[in-house]
Structure 1
Amino acid sequence: MDTGFDLRQHGGVDVFLRDCPTRAVLELIASKWTMLVLVALEDGRPMRFAELRRRLDGVTPKVLTQTLRALEREGVLTRRVHPTVPPRVEYQLTKIGQEVGGLVQSITDWSQANLAAIQAARKEFDERAACEPPEVTAQERA
């Protein structure tokens, strides 16, 4: 399958290659918790860890910490520690974080706008799948 112009010969990146560094960025951005953190911080207001944890219902402290560290490492957000007792830590999107946050917000808006159609398609598929024998692909036959 032709994936378009091959930038490798020109020193560029090709996301379709296994070792392309862009894949790591896409993997991080595509994470459910990353997307939710980006949307939670998208309004530009700094948030504390506990605020984010309450906002992201179901996230564990460990996963939230890992997500925030990964986003900080990639330059998507900043972590600011205020010299208080106990220390107050706030997270805020950087410029590139705001850019990707806007994209993720668009995906969120699209998801909400199309939820009824998606749920109807899911229901139709499940009903059809319950009545039909599973289709066997050529790969499964081999």
Structure 2
Amino acid sequence: MNRALLPAVAAAVAAGTTSVTRRIAPILLESPIDLPATSVLSLYVAGGRFVSFALAYGLLLGVAYRVGRTGDGSPDGGSVALATGLVAAVAYLVATAGTLLWLGPQQGAVTAVLAVGSSVGVGVQLAVVAFAGVALGQSRRRDDPEDA
């Protein structure tokens, strides 16, 4: 597997998880299990946000940094960021569509527009994180006397 694809894989995981965690309250409300207390529901929402943060800025940034740090002809940060953003947007859209189909949205057109808009937003967010990681890794590689 090409190392330049690793940020896209990490972004797909982060985007899918973000999509589900943003809808944790409706998922719990629509599921056949007993409703948790509001304090527990708040804890679930906060935990989901932390997991999304950790995946986006921990996993994705770390993988992109390692890709930028390797000097074995890996592509520039722009192409890695573009691929990462596209994969993240598609993964988020697929996870959102699956969740919304399961939940049964009442307002189809409004829900579709919101899902596409948020998919683009997540794709851009994760592309920026990937670009920052690759750029940081490349700047550290240039400063490393072992690579010179």
Give the structure-1-normalised TM-score.
0.29
Structure with greater strand percent: 1
**Structure with a larger share of its residues in helix:** 2
Higher relative contact order, chain-length normalized (CA < 8 Å, sep 6+): 2
